[in-house]
């Protein structure tokens, strides 16, 4: 992106595959994963450690601090960029977006635009990926900034979860909902609302039905339109591998552009056994 003097900045919660980050020179502000006596920067590799230490140890997550963004700004200026596009997970779930905007507003020497995606994980990440491709294809900083907010409604991620327990422990849902779900062996499909907060799309009994419903919701979002698809998993790589051809067959105009294990920051709140499908309509 340097040839356009524009750099894209995201947080690690966007779950963009590392290969894409490297190809498009995207800057990533990592969230933090903290246990009682140690703290780590968010990564895919750390997610496996988080799963290993479940359920005895459940860490906390925290957003990048202002100093993280100050450091990124200095790095961006040192590399000669003039324009910054920040794409971050929902302000309804994290303060990252606000923190980044505060820091960038202190640097008028950089032209900056910050997008609140109202989304989580690859639902936010697909928007950053779209912006990166548009810049690569020749759109200007101003053109991408104008078009990007219009794409927010086109992006959606659906997650099928094996358990509600970790969302409850993270304070994301009520205890009663979690207990009832466990007793009835109900598996939820969750997503982000237009306001950028979690909501339950559907409650399912049985893993097979859950996967079918998950694909169904993604297909409904796409309709007859072309779409980018992302296939994410949380400690369920084999399941994702099996789902891939089914997803591709169900959404014929869809192109799978990302396949990955989620990062630790998402794994902390969702637990193992997660499957996610991200959709960006009319990319």
CB 8 within 8 A of CB 128: yes
Question: Edge-to-edge strand order for the sheet containing 111-116?
Answer: 27-29, 6-11, 83-88, 111-116
Per-position pLDDT tens, the chain of length 283: 444 799 999 999 999 999 999 999 999 999 999 999 999 999 999 999 999 999 899 999 999 999 999 999 999 999 999 999 999 999 999 999 999 999 999 999 999 999 999 999 999 999 999 999 999 999 999 999 999 999 999 999 999 988 777 776 655 554 335 444 554 577 888 999 999 998 889 888 877 888 999 999 999 999 999 999 999 999 999 999 999 999 999 999 999 999 999 999 999 988 999 999 999 999 9
Residues counted in the chain: 283
pLDDT at residue number 1:
41
Give CA–CA dist 216/134, Å, rounded: 29
pLDDT of residue 66: 96
Q: How many whole angstroms separate alpha carbon 131 and alpha carbon 137?
A: 10
Of all helices (H) and strands (E), which one includes residue 129? helix 122-136
Task: Look at residue 205 in the predicted model and tell me its pLDDT.
Answer: 82
Where in the chain does DSSP place strands (E)? Answer: 6-11, 27-29, 32-34, 39-41, 60-62, 83-88, 111-116, 155-160, 186-192, 198-205, 227-234, 254-261, 274-281
Tracing tokens 């919701």 back to the chain, one arrives at 217
Residue 22: both structure tokens together: 């490297």
The DSSP secondary-structure symbol of 153 reads: G
- Distance between CA atoms of 15 and 89, rounded to whole angstroms? 10
Tell me the CA distances in angstroms from 153 to 23, 118, 277, one per residue in order.
26, 9, 16
Task: Report d(CA 271, CA 283) in Å as an integer.
Answer: 31
Domains of the chain: 2-150 (3.40.50.10170), 155-281 (3.30.1180.10)
SS3 169: helix
- Two tokens, residue 233: 């998993």
């Amino acid at each position: 992106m340097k040839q356009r003097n524009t750099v894209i900045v995201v947080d690690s919660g966007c779950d963009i595959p590392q290969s894409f980050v490297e190809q498009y020179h995207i800057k990533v502000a990592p969230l933090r994963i903290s246990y009682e006596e140690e703290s780590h920067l968010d990564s895919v590799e750390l997610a496996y450690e988080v799963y290993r230490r479940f359920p005895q140890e459940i860490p906390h997550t925290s957003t990048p601090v202002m100093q993280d963004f100050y450091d990124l700004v200095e790095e961006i200026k040192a590399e000669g960029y003039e324009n910054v596009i920040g794409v971050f997970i929902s302000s309804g779930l994290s303060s990252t977006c606000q923190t980044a905007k505060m820091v960038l507003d202190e640097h008028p020497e950089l032209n900056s635009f910050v997008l609140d995606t109202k989304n989580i994980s690859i639902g936010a990440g697909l928007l950053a990926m779209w912006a990166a491709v548009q810049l690569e294809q020749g759109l200007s900083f101003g053109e991408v900034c104008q078009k990007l907010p219009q794409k927010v409604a086109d992006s959606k991620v659906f997650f099928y979860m094996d358990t509600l327990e970790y969302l409850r422990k993270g304070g994301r849902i009520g205890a009663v909902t979690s207990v009832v779900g466990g007793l009835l062996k109900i598996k939820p499909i969750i997503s982000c609302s237009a306001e950028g907060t979690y909501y339950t799309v559907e409650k399912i009994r049985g893993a097979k039905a859950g996967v079918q419903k998950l694909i169904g919701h993604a297909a409904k979002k796409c309709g007859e339109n072309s779409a980018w698809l992302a296939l994410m998993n949380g400690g369920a790589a084999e399941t994702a591998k099996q789902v891939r051809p089914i997803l591709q067959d169900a959404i014929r105009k869809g192109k799978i552009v990302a396949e990955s294990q989620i990062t630790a920051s998402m794994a902390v709140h969702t637990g193992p056994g997660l499957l996610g499908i991200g959709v960006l309509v009319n990319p």
